[in-house]
């Protein structure tokens, strides 16, 4: 009797875990969020982790260890006038072995736009972080080459910010008679 009681819970504990791993189901993502200790949401039916900015790289590394080998996207959204915290860092991760996707989102206050770079974890973050720096002015710590990627090096401002107006830069034609 006592033997049964001790073996049964073990069996129960092991069986669902194996089932989860083989099925690669939703619960893998939820369990992962639980084990890292971050908030798990569904946004338009897609898995999203809400990550504190201080834990950005740590959570990405833990997610990578859980089988999300590939970083497919990293970008920034400017929620000026929509949300209290102005910016939000977004990274898309894909697990090829589990065939799952998860999105990391980290609110980024306007007065402290420095965050740890993901390049040490995912080398492919390089160009995306340069683009985020170029377009939004986010600074990534430990990034190997944090320079402008799309705009010219001497460019002023960050074009994809909401307070950067469209078409506000007049085109200068050097040869035009008015310019001289």
Residue corresponding to tokens 């310019």: 179
Q: At closest approach, how far in Å is the CB of 135 from another protein?
A: 8
**Closest distance of CB 12 from another protein, Å:** 28
154 vs 178, beta carbon nearer another protein: 154
End-to-end CA distance of the chain: 99
Instruction: Please report how close the Cβ of residue 80 comes to another protein at its closest, in angstroms.
Output: 9
Residue closer to another protein (CB basis): 3 or 26: 26
Which of residues 54 and 73 has its CB atom nearest to another protein in the complex?
73
Residues that bind another protein in the complex, under the rule CB under 8 A: 43-46, 69-73, 75, 77-79, 82, 90, 92, 94, 96-97, 99, 101, 103, 122-124, 126-128, 135, 148-152, 159-160, 166
Q: Please, what is the minimum distance in Å from the beta carbon of residue 6 to another protein?
A: 34
| Identity of the residue, 8 or 155, whose beta carbon is nearer to another protein in the bound complex | 155
């Amino acid at each position: 009797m006592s033997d049964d009681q001790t073996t049964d819970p073990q069996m129960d504990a092991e069986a669902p875990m194996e089932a989860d791993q083989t099925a690669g189901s939703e619960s893998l993502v939820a369990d992962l969020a639980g084990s890292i200790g971050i908030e798990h949401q569904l946004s338009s039916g897609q898995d999203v982790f809400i990550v504190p900015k201080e834990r950005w790289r740590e959570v990405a590394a833990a997610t990578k260890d859980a089988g999300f080998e590939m970083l497919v996207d990293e970008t920034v959204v400017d929620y000026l006038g929509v949300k209290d915290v102005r910016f939000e860092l977004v990274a898309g991760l894909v697990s090829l072995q589990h065939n799952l996707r998860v999105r990391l989102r980290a609110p980024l206050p306007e007065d402290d736009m420095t965050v740890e770079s993901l390049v040490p974890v995912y080398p492919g973050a390089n160009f995306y972080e340069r683009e985020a720096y170029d377009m939004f002015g986010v600074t990534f710590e430990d990034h190997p080459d944090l320079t402008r990627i799309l705009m010219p090096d001497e460019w002023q401002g960050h074009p994809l910010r909401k307070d950067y107006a469209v078409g506000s830069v007049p085109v200068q034609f050097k040869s035009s008679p008015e310019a001289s």
